Structure 1
Amino acid sequence: MVGILLGLPGQWAEDELESSDHYTTKIGGLPDWPPLPDDVMRAELLNCTSCGSKLSLVAQVYAPISTENSERTLYIFGCLMMPKCGASEQSWRALSVQKAVKEKESIETEDLPVASPKDTPSKPHWLDDGDDDDDEDFDFESLAKAIAEAATTVASNSKKPKSKPSGSTSTGTKAKPSPLKSETRVVDQVKVETGAVLPCFYIYTKEEKVSIKDVDRVSVSYSSMSIKDKETSEKKDESEAEEAWEDEKYEYDKALNADRTYLKFQKRLDANSEQCFRYSYGGKPLLATEDLKSPEKCRRCDSPMVFEMQLMSPLIYFLHEAVVDEGLKQSLDNWDWMTLIVYTCSKSCATSVTGDWIVAEGCIAVQKEKPMNLDHASFFK
């Protein structure tokens, strides 16, 4: 079974420009880059492909996937400048920054199997329509141990959090205003400009505990309710032609499945209502809607992309509560997504180039909330 780590709000940084290191997991602020050479980070990677503006850091996640190489961090950027950019996949970017390893020292993946789309060729949908609680073949315990060991070894001097961002109940100091202007952070030889700076708070993680019975109960209860609706509708519409019935049944089933997907998503979100992200390398995302295209292959090495993590909507609430600048508040209002799903290279691109550091671009899918259709009888009228 694939384990899931939840990213929960820790404490606010004293200042949104507060410097830390690339072993730190946080929301907002400026990116803490490792010592990258000048020619590794291309400036255009931090430009919005929709409007051309500089992207802002939304999340920085320390994410080693093996004890063989603890130098790996994910950076997720979004555009705050144009209203249309908030929900556009072209305005979001995920970068995996990691240290290259020699071929003979390449990351061993036997102990951390990756559930790539090719692993389930017999399924009609590449993600498999079944419950993700039945996933197998992923040693989550090894992953958690690897992260813990790596963090203990290399993150001893990372920043300590200051106060928990718990909305109106927070007793800590909130971040200062973040005007809509670009900021630059210099790390060794690297000078990288980003967009407006969001309030910064640190993240701690815990493993998600999910009862399969609770998850199944949503589907069973909802299905029972829907079956009753369908039976009632059938009695009312016995005179309809068989051809019309088949068309309506297809639409009904389609809507029913979409509603079940959303209910499952909402239940898992409600169980940990402060979750800012979900991490499950090689697992399956928690879908808000059933509409999800297969990710493209890695642009660098043409390997399949796999799910690694997803941002959740509570982080928008925390950022919005902390922002003082009205321009930023309005920009955050345009982020009306339910979840951002992040895919990265299944091979980690760790041996595809020569050099110390690799910056690999991931893929992000945006899912927005769709209204649930509870008036199922309307499909049979």
Structure 2
Amino acid sequence: MKENNIQDLKLGILGGGQLGRMFIQSAMDYNIDVHILDPDPDAPCKNVATSFTVGKLTDYDTVMKFGKDCDILTIEIENVNTEALRALEKEGVRVFPQPDIIELIKDKRTQKSFYRDHDIPTADFTLVDSKTDIAKLGKFPSVNKLGKEGYDGRGVQVLRTASDIDKAFDVPGLIEDLVDFEKELAVIVARNERGECRTFPVVEMVFHPEANLVEYLFAPADVSAEIAKKADEIARNVIDRLGMVGLLAVEMFLTRDGDILVNEVAPRPHNSGHQTIEGNITSQYEQHLRSIFNLPLGDTSSRAKAAMVNLLGEEGHTGPAFYEGLEKVSAISGVHVHLYGKKLTKPFRKMGHVTIEENDMELLIEKVQFVKEHLKVISNV
């Protein structure tokens, strides 16, 4: 790649949701045009992309047709046709993360096996093909995860006793030990083609008890320097072992015994990095761009203590979205609202997020609670 010539390269993204939308906002700073493929004709990227193509991400011919005119291809979601991406690579299109890595990560069975094969700490697990396998195993309490297509809390079931077998998935997946954890942590790490690697400070996530997705998080996490260093080293080790180019979110459990176990990874910008837009010198979106264009990676230092609150559609509300309490929340110092351009809300749908910068931890917690209590995504219909 010629120096200072990245503006001449055509960048394509498979997926046009909120992650793509926020990535485009970073790409604009570099005069990079972004072309989107997404199956939803009203996806959040529709009105901000240079071009927007409606098509199925798992269809070989659709991905080939879209990708053949691109110089660089990346993803916003793992459920894409990796066979087409491999074929495009052979035709000279640069694909990041690499297709084989997407293929490995999008199946939790191969992802978890990779950890075991490379001595990366993770919860003990057994591969299963059906409910019958799970019943024969008789391992309770445990967590049953789908091999493929689990996303945003879907595809995970906690089986506490044998009576929960009916909740299990009757398709290939895995049974994992139920970890007695103290905190759920995440580290976002980026790596470019030169092998340069940078991490963001470890964050602490709090999950919604019903939706099983991140409700809010704090950055940096309230952990010791030793634990933060260990989490950082694990994240670097994972991306190095993969040999991956791009951005990788590494979700981990901090056990009550002080061990750190990798839960799962996402090879793209991630919910656990939204706060970096305001909270860090370089955002996760700019860092992803830097990594796939083989630019020097940016400074990931924190500007301040920060929090992120996901805006989820309220239970009992389906229809045109209305943001109740927006004026109240916008009046609070350090609060930044990010809405995703989704016209329709439904229960637990990710509709936006709020980042909060505040160096006083007690005040930060108070502001998180204020946002959670006062900003609601409802439908007036």
TM interval, shorter chain, is: under 0.3
Larger radius of gyration: 1
Q: TM-score, normalised by structure 2?
A: 0.23
Kindly indicate whether structure 1 or structure 2 has the higher relative contact order, using CA contacts under 8 Å at least 6 residues apart: 1
Q: TM-score, normalised by structure 1?
A: 0.23
- Give the number of the structure whose residues are more often strand, by fraction: 2
